Amino acid sequence: MIKNLIDKDFQQETNNDITLIDFYADWCGPCKMLSSVIEEISEENKDINIYKVNTDENTECTKKYEVNALPTMLILKNKEIISKIIGLTNKNSIQIEIDKAKD
């Protein structure tokens, strides 16, 4: 299940385990294209946390993680950045990075 995440809940929600965070904006075409890919990943990876962060509404965590291009995805493991994926990419590439975090 994909949840929306806001600045004030960011630290608490990304506390542990493996987390995929999709930084997006409503006006971003590639972000919209990536949305269905993130849905598929969510269905196939029930053991990880998946969040979406609207960069226009949540500037604090956007700045903290130096998100300067959209879409940007972070894969965290116990709050540590394992991977940062910038731009539109395919499901397989994202899954490879998730699998690295699981190892």
Distances (CA, A) of 43 to 6, 24, 27, 48, 82: 22, 20, 25, 10, 21
Q: What share of the chain is helix, strand, coil (3-state, %, to 5)?
A: 40, 30, 30
Give the pair of three-digit tokens for residue 62: 């956007």
Q: Residue 61 catalytic?
A: no
Q: Which of 5, 31, 70, 76 is catalytic?
A: 31
Q: Which of 2, 6, 25, 28 is catalytic?
A: 28
**C-alpha 51: how far from chain center:** 6
Residue 66, C-beta contacts closer than 8 angstroms, at least 6 positions apart: none
User: Which residues carry out catalysis?
Assistant: 28, 31
